[in-house]
Amino acid sequence: MRLDFFNNGLSLRASTQKYLIVLVGLAVVVAFNVMLWALWTPSYVLNDGVQYLSTANSWLSGSGFSTNALMYTPHFQGILPAPQTVWPLGYPMIIALVSMLGMSAESAALSINLFSQALSALLVFVILRRLKLNFYSAFFCSLIFYSTGNPWAYSVALVSEPLFSMLILVAIFFQPGFQRSSLWPWIFSGLLVALCVLTRYSGVLFAAGIGAGMFIYLIKTSSIRSKDFWRGIAMLTLQMSIPVILLGATLYRTYLLTGTIGRDIGVIDTGDLFQRLKLVFWQVREFIGFTDTGILPPSVNTPLMFLLVLLVLVALVQMSIVSLKKTPKTTSSQTEIFNVLLYVICGHTAVFVIFFAFSVAGLALVDLNHRYLNQIYPGLFVLFCVLCAKVFRIIEKLQLFEHGKWFRKSLVAILCLFALAQVNLATAIKDYSMPGVQIREALDLKVSETTDLQTMIQSCLVRSGETVGSIWSNDGQQLSYAAGIPTITVADVYGNNPYDLENVRNHIETYDVKMVVILNNLPDIAPQFIQMLTDVKQWLIKQGYEKITLSQNEISSDITVDVYLLDKTCL
């Protein structure tokens, strides 16, 4: 009886420790989110965030899923607001629905992202527990996942990545196995995958990854049983048909509104294969946190990233060596759900790597940036944690103490470098607000002693509570968000095909452009776009449009602002 009492006491103490850890973790999460909410400013909103907010506000105002920040060819339908056919509708729809609770679109988007970040960390914890990690290991891994800096940059930018990552983790968690007889888990899972596609079009890669992973798993487990195999094929087809139908409906909507399903948004020429590989390495470095604008000197970021990659490779080699030492007696059978989760994660990663490899090879160029890489990060993180836990179990069973010592040292070194990268990114996060800061500084420029550019735009374009006309600008998305007026934007950093003057003339006539606002010396602008803007300014002068003499026309970073008035009644 005394022994039972002693064991019960130990169990109670362990449970109390777990509850205490959870409560402390929740307190830290709440405190951090409150601080982030208080420090957030509209300058953090990135261009895609502007599109989501504009689409949500248009829907709330009864204009359907449309945008007042026209940018890409599919947007130009000759009307304002234009149908939103470039960005998917899931995220702005959720923003609009949350806004109906009585908050602004900005507050709704920020709350969605903060909630998604917290729920993603919880899902990582739950998935790791399902994959047989103990409580403390799973909690520690989920804490590391929650501390990754780049998803937080996406959160304050009000873009869809936090929600997208959360939906991916939810879909992974609820992926059913082939042993289930009911159709409903497959239908529910298909709906979750469809939501991923509706949130970001690159969710198609996730859907393909689930299909590929589960198909391989089905072949491995049921190929010799014809009945089970074909039943599994039917279930998988049912699941995948749901996101396919949703994508088809989305493309059909685009066709009805634009006459085509093409998304002519331009592609940046990233150079030869070597240049593209350098670009991919740079983007991975940016995602990890070794960005050149943080607290670390720019000269050390690339060497530190190489060191981190080397340490990860060393850890993977150590994992392989330990796994090869495993004897048949130490092999443990896994549950189906364990295998399903791993096959889904590996399938998604493999499909993404193949797609990205084609892009790197120049066969299907996409924007090679860390926002694409973000979608495989949750799965890879979970996979790495599971592999580490498996290696530790093998080391303990086979008493490979020397291997265990060096493996722990490798992991500690990786964690130290990773933590340093997150600190570096946290100190650089202010740079994510630079586009928003620049356009707000431009709007503060004085036209006269009593009038700034913001006041002039409002008096020119907003009459009796209605917006009249638009502005043509090379930073139009941020200008639309900051000034609250429709804009026609030059996609100056998204392609190699600048507008000719006939496009500009058509824009002015079609969208009742009242003024042209051009920011000079913006960073990372291709030379052909600089030449285009020069030609536009010369053409405007030849057309007799007045260039406003600002009492001050320079903002930070040596950026100057030129304003051309096309409607003299604005004065």
Closest by alpha carbon to 390, among 128, 113, 174, 80? 128
How far apart are the C-alpha atoms of 173 and 307, rounded to whole Å? 33
Q: Do 414 and 552 share a domain, yes or no? A: no
Co-location of 379 and 449 in the same domain: no
Q: Are residues 128 and 23 in the same domain?
A: no
ω into 297 cis (within 30 of 0)? no
Dihedrals phi, psi of 520, to nearest 5 degrees: -95, 150
Please choose, from the candidates 188, 195, 128, 208, the residue with its C-alpha nearest in 3D space to the C-alpha of residue 160: 195
Angle between helices 377-398 and 298-324 (to 10 degrees): 50
Among the candidates 405, 432, 459, a domain finishes at 432
Cα dihedral 174, 179, 184, 190 in deg (nearest 10): 50
Distance CA 337, CA 176 (A): 7
pLDDT of residue 349: 92
| pLDDT one digit per residue (tens) for the chain, 571 residues | 544 544 555 565 667 777 787 788 788 888 888 988 988 989 999 989 999 999 999 999 998 999 999 988 788 888 889 999 989 999 999 999 999 999 999 999 999 999 999 999 999 999 999 988 988 899 999 999 999 988 999 999 999 999 999 999 999 999 998 876 688 899 999 999 999 999 999 899 999 999 999 999 988 887 667 777 888 889 999 999 999 999 999 999 988 888 877 665 555 566 677 877 888 888 889 889 898 888 999 889 999 999 999 999 999 998 888 877 765 554 455 677 888 899 999 999 999 888 888 877 766 656 667 788 889 999 999 999 999 998 888 888 888 777 788 889 999 999 999 999 999 998 887 777 777 888 999 999 988 888 889 988 888 888 777 788 899 998 889 999 999 899 998 764 455 567 778 888 888 899 999 999 999 888 777 778 888 888 899 999 998 888 888 888 888 778 899 999 998 877 6
Structure tokens at 9: 């006491």
Residue 98 resides in a domain: yes
Boundary (domain end) residue, out of 432, 460, 478: 432
| Alpha-carbon span 563 to 139, nearest angstrom | 55
Q: Give ∠ CA 396-400-404 in degrees, rounded to 5.
A: 80
Q: Does 267 fall in a domain?
A: no
Number of domains into which the chain is organized: 3
Q: Are 319 and 391 in contact (CB under 8 A)?
A: yes
Any domain includes 438? no
What Cα–Cα distance (Å) separates residue 180 from each residue in 59, 191, 192, 210, 346?
40, 18, 18, 17, 22
279 contact partners, CB below 8 Å, separation of at least 6: 270, 368
Q: Residue 214 has what pLDDT?
A: 92
In a domain, 331, yes or no: yes
Q: Determine, yes or no, domain membership for 214.
A: yes
Q: Any idea what DSSP says for residue 452?
A: B
**206 backbone dihedrals φ, ψ, rounded to 5°:** -65, -45
Same domain, yes or no: 24 and 79:
no
pLDDT for 6 = 46
Asked if 418 and 424 touch (Cβ cutoff 8 Å), the reply is: no
427 and 539 together in one domain: no
Please state the φ and ψ torsions of residue 501, each to the nearest 5 degrees.
-65, -25
Beta pairing, strands 546-547 & 513-520 = unpaired
437 within domain boundaries:
no
> What CATH number is associated with residue 481?
3.40.190
- Boundary (domain end) residue, out of 376, 401, 432: 432
Q: For residue 494, what pLDDT is reported? A: 53
Range of the domain at 533: 444-570
- Co-location of 517 and 494 in the same domain: yes
pLDDT score recorded for residue 329: 52
Q: Do 53 and 115 have their domain in common?
A: yes
Q: Is residue 489 in some structural domain?
A: yes
Residues 118 and 175 in one domain: yes
φ, ψ dihedrals at 326, nearest 5° = -70, 130
Residue 439 lies in a domain: no
Residues 29 and 55 in one domain: no
CA distances from 496 to 131, 223, 364 (A): 47, 49, 16
481 and 520 assigned to the same domain: yes
Residues 34 and 45 in one domain: no
Cα four-point dihedral sign 10, 15, 18, 24? negative
Q: Tell me: do 205 and 326 sit in the same domain.
A: yes
